[in-house]
Amino acid sequence: MATNVGLAGILGSKAILVIDGGSPRTLAVGQEYGGVKLLSVGEGSVQVEIGGKRRSMRVGQNAVGEASSGDSPLVLLADGQGHFQAQGTINGAPMRFLVDTGATMISIGASDARRMGLDLNKAKKGYSQTANGTTQVYRIKLDTVKVGDIVMHNVDGLVHQQDMPFALLGMSFLNRTDMQREGDRLTLKKRF
């Protein structure tokens, strides 16, 4: 799967990168995110590594490269509230995820489903118990879910009737990874 990287800006010795249309990420030299590693920062340009290949970019430019095989583990750092968040895509649409081991499946809100063009007419209707009470949901199969370098196909998901501030990265994805938590770091490695 090709990875698209845009250089949005440079802050001193750091680069602001947009990876696969996600939210801008600030990386220091040597840091890696979503299969993209920042190698160097110069005046108005950077060097990145995408899938093992070097690319030079100027501010405003994009580079496309092949992502790695998905064997690279994903390391997430907890935010100030102890939650783990990640950028990724569902069926190619950019998505912000909150890791939720209490969620049975990946859950997305109604506006994200509309933005992605999901057809809910054939979806199975049901109800889900959430922190905010019982809500009607639609059960669907997600063709492709990508978080960092980890790509999963044919993943169970739920679409909620109301909007959600982010997608919940639930156990339908997480059960297919080895999860290891050490302090404020959570490492996910694809199992199958």
**Domain boundaries, given as residue ranges, for the chain:** 2-66, 74-190
| Alpha helices (H) along 45-187 | 110-116, 171-174
The pLDDT tens digits for 18-77 are: 887 777 889 999 998 877 889 999 888 899 888 778 888 888 777 776 544 455 788 888
Full DSSP string of 96-134: EEEE-TT-SSEEE-HHHHHHHT---TTSEEEEEEETTEE
Compute CA 157 distance to the chain's CA centroid, rounded to the nearest angstrom.
15
- Whether this model's pTM surpasses 0.85: no
Neighbouring-strand partners of residue 160: 137
Q: Which CATH number does 2-66 carry?
A: 2.30.30
Class of domain 74-190: mainly beta
The pLDDT tens digits for 86-110 are: 988 998 888 999 999 999 999 999 9
